[in-house]
Amino acid sequence: MDINTVIGTILAFLLVLVAMAVGPGGVGIFLHVPSMVIVLGGTFAVTMMAFPLSELKPLAKVMMITAMRKNSTPAEEIERIVSYANLARKEGLLALETKLQNVDDAFFAKGIQLVIDGFGADTVRDIMELEAEWEKQRHETGRKILDQMGAFSPAFGMIGTLVGLVQMLQDLSDPSAIGTGMATALLTTLYGAMAANMLFIPLAGKLEQVAKQESLLRNLMIEGIVAIQSCEKPQLIKEKLKGFLAPSAREAVEA
């Protein structure tokens, strides 16, 4: 679990709720169902217009992965690949099959399975690079959807503000109508700003960073697995893969 994302999200909403609670009227005056319907309902509706249903279906899963998933580090992957190379060098490539049941990463498991099945190095590389590219495209689609939702929600906040102002200006002699109109006008803007800046845009940025880290790991895995298939020496594999690390991280791998 990526605890930073969870803590950041909770802290952001908590700070706003505390600010609401300590003011006159408490949190209750900030709850307005019509405003929520305009912002959230409108945002999801136009997102459905902008993207095919096939791309929207995995959106909830993408958001959960972005918020909760924590990738392994390149140093950890190098250590795992070198250990697999040692096993393959001592007992043969078929011995790697005993390790597959302990592999949680489907991408890495698929690469090792291709090696076990006897595919050549070029074939293994081509298949895994294609898999990595499609994975990258899925992340990019998820980021675009979240970015668009971050743009749509403030727009619907403004639409709600205009709706509320129209309702308020229709009958200025009725105090209750003025209050309802002003609540719709102001709270939709608030909800739109909160949804965009405390949820959709941060998640889009997080997903972009996750995709970059994952792309680095995928390239590292491809090079390592192809090297295992080619029966290269474990120490040589380690030296090659250290090229994916920052200089400050290479010392830890060496140790």
CA-to-CA distance for 144 and 132, rounded, in angstroms?
18
Provide the residue type at 76 as one letter. Answer: E
What is residue 99's predicted lDDT score, i.e. its pLDDT? 86
For residue 174, what is the enclosing H or E element?
none
Check: CB of residue 136 under 8 Å from CB of residue 155.
Answer: no
User: How far is residue 7 CA from its own chain's centroid?
Assistant: 15
Per-residue pLDDT of the chain (255 residues; tens, 9 = 90+): 567 888 888 899 999 999 889 888 788 888 888 889 999 999 999 999 999 988 888 877 777 776 666 778 888 899 999 999 999 989 988 889 888 888 888 899 999 999 999 899 999 999 999 999 998 888 888 899 999 999 999 999 999 888 888 877 777 777 766 776 777 788 899 999 999 999 999 999 988 888 888 899 999 999 999 999 998 999 999 988 988 887 776 766 665
What is residue 102's predicted lDDT score, i.e. its pLDDT? 82
Between the two ends of the chain, the Cα-to-Cα distance in Å is 27
CA-to-CA distance for 45 and 55, rounded, in angstroms?
14
What is residue 26's predicted lDDT score, i.e. its pLDDT? 83
Residue 30 neighbours by CB distance under 10 Å: 19
Residue with tokens 């002699």: 173
| 111: Cβ contacts below 8 Å, ≥ 6 apart | 124, 128, 221, 222, 225
What is residue 82's predicted lDDT score, i.e. its pLDDT? 92
What is residue 193's predicted lDDT score, i.e. its pLDDT? 95
CA geometry: angle 195, 200, 15, nearest 5 deg:
50
What is residue 18's predicted lDDT score, i.e. its pLDDT? 92
What is residue 177's predicted lDDT score, i.e. its pLDDT? 66
